[in-house]
Amino acid sequence: MKRYFLILLLGGFAFAGKSQVSEVGFCGGVSFYTGDLNPKKIFVGSRPAGGFIYRYNINPRFAFKAVALFGSLQADDAKTGTPERNLSFRSPLSELSAHVELNFMRLYNEKGYNFFTPYLFLGAGLFSFNPQAQDANGTWYDLQPLGTEGQGFNAKDVALDGTVIGDYTNLKRYSLVNFAMPFGLGVRFNFLKYYSVGLEWGYRLTLTNYIDDVGGVYVRHDFMVERRSALVADLADKTTAMIDADHRDYNNPGTMRANNTKLNDWYSFALLTFTFKLNYTKDCLAYHGRPSYNKTKKH
C-alpha cells in the first residue's frame, strides 16, 4: 500500500512538470469517525478540521492534489447505541495524502465557459492518530502504550488448573501511523480569474481497527490488574453492569470488546476549500483545447 502511495505521488509530480497552472490554498470544516464506537451515524462527534492544499491542473478534466489535513476524532458509546459497554475515546488526527481529481465538466476560468464542476477524487496517504480515554476523575490517558486488549503483555493468562484463559505472547501494540485511501466527491467554482472555492466530502479507508483503541476481545480484569494496574483495567473494561452496589460485573475474558474484529475503522473530512492560482496564463496547458472566442469571418 505504501508503494502505491509513492507511485501516485511521483506520478502526480511528473504530471505537474508539464502543467502551467498550480494552486495553493487552505480548507476548513469538520472531521468525524465511524467504527466500533460509532458504527453507522455520520457527522456524529464531528470536530473542527482544516489544512492546506496544493493542486496541479493537468487539463480541464484532471487535476493532481496534495493535501495536509489536521483534525480530531471522538466517539462515545452513550451517544451511539451501546451504553452498557460504556467505552469512549478522543484522538488527534493528521493526514498527508495525494489525490487525483476527475471533473465532470471541463473547467475554465474564462467568462462564458464552465466556471464550476462537480468532481470525484481518489488518492492514497498516511495518517497519524493517538487514542485517549478518560478515567473516573476526568484525567485523560494515551491508550496505545497501556495495552488495553493485552498488547505488549508477552504472557499467557493461565488458570490454576493449567487452562489457558488468554494468550498474549504474540500480541504487539498497534502502530499510530497507518495507510489511508481517501475517496469522495466535491464541487469547485472558479471566480475572478485567479481564485477557486469548493465543497468536498471524502471518506478514508484505513488498514487499522484501532483508531478508537477497540479492535479485539476483553482481557480478564484481575490479569489486567496484575500485568498493568487497576487504573488500566478500569479503562479497558468500563461496563455499567453491576454485581452489587460496590462491584462491577466485568466482562468475561475472550468476549467481544469490538463490534467486529475484522472490520477496520474509517474517518471522514467535510471541507470548504479556497485556492489561489499561482501562474495563470490565458493560453496555458491546463486550459488548452477550449473553444475560441473569435469566430472565423466568411469572405
Hey, where are the domains in the chain? 2-130+176-211+265-287, 132-174+218-255
36 in Cβ contact with 209 (< 8 Å): yes
Using CA atoms, how far residue 39 sits from 75, 82, 125, 175, 212, in Å, is 10, 10, 23, 22, 12
Class of domain 2-130+176-211+265-287: mainly beta
At 285, is the secondary structure helix, strand, or coil?
Answer: helix
Alpha-carbon torsion (129, 211, 222, 172), positive or negative: negative
Task: Report d(CA 3, CA 194) in Å as an integer.
Answer: 35
pTM of the shown model: 0.86
What is the structure's pLDDT at 280?
Answer: 60
Alpha helices by DSSP H, listed for the chain, are 2-18, 77-80, 221-227, 230-236
At 247, is the secondary structure helix, strand, or coil?
Answer: strand
Q: Residues of the chain with pLDDT > 70: what percent?
A: 85
CA–chain centroid gap for 39, Å, is 15
Q: What is the mean pLDDT of residues 158-175?
A: 95
pLDDT band at 106 (very low <50, low <70, confident <90, very high): confident
Least confident of 19-28, 60-69, 151-160, 270-279: 19-28
Q: Is the pLDDT of residue 175 over 50?
A: yes
Locate 120 and state its grid cell.
470525484
